[in-house]
Amino acid sequence: MRKNVWSARIVPLALAAVFVGGLSATTAAPAQARTATKASAQTSAQASARVTDAYYLRFNKGSVTNSRLELVKRTPGRDKVIKTYKAGSGQVKNTCAVGKGWLPNAGASKPYAVQWHRKNFDGIINGFVIKISDRKCHNGTKRTELFIHSEMKPNGKQGTIESERWTNSGPNDYYSNGCIKLNPTNIKDLFKRLDRVGWPKKMYVVN
């Protein structure tokens, strides 16, 4: 996930800071795993928009800092792209690199599951967060703690530390520890649209 992050397992590891392009990227940690577990439980009790198969997400990989996340509507014939957002994923293109590789592909036969979403997530990543399912890469390495997220405080506002402050300093803010990263304006727009039309069950990842 990230220079920021993304199932619920507790392992006694210390946080490790990774520096990319002069900005720090924090790897997955027990604290986040505990928070993710709590968030998953709380989400089921919270009111949320309906889930629908009428829409899905599709991540088109270009480069680790310049790819595209699309909101797509199923329509007769060819599906319609409703909105496209610039997105980053990982720090390298090796899909088996835990904590730094971009996401493994996922086609029609086995898409990622969109598991839950929160607007006030409080962990190593914060605020507007979408959890997607784990995935094995081509050599069998399991990629876990995968999210769609940005850089913000738990309340969705901008903070002062790097992981909570989007600066648009070249491509640097789009680097992640293997998740999908949007800028704050775009992830809030995505939430607004999905709250209105319904939350998709699936996400596809293609080159």
pLDDT in tens, the chain (207 residues): 544 444 344 333 333 333 333 333 333 333 343 444 444 444 443 444 689 999 999 999 999 999 999 999 999 999 999 999 999 999 999 999 999 999 999 999 999 999 999 999 999 999 999 999 999 999 999 999 999 999 999 999 999 998 999 987 767 899 999 999 999 999 999 999 999 999 999 999 999
Specify the pLDDT at position 9. 40
Specify the pLDDT at position 171. 73
Specify the pLDDT at position 168. 76
CA 161 distance to own-chain centroid: 20
Residue 150 near residue 182 (C-beta atoms within 8 A): yes
Distant-in-sequence contacts of 31-34, Cβ < 8 A, 24+ apart:
31/123, 31/124, 32/5, 32/123, 32/124, 32/125, 32/145, 33/7, 33/8, 33/9, 33/145, 34/8, 34/10
Tell me the pTM. Answer: 0.78
Specify the pLDDT at position 49. 63
Specify the pLDDT at position 119. 97
Specify the pLDDT at position 50. 87
Residue 82 near residue 52 (C-beta atoms within 8 A): no
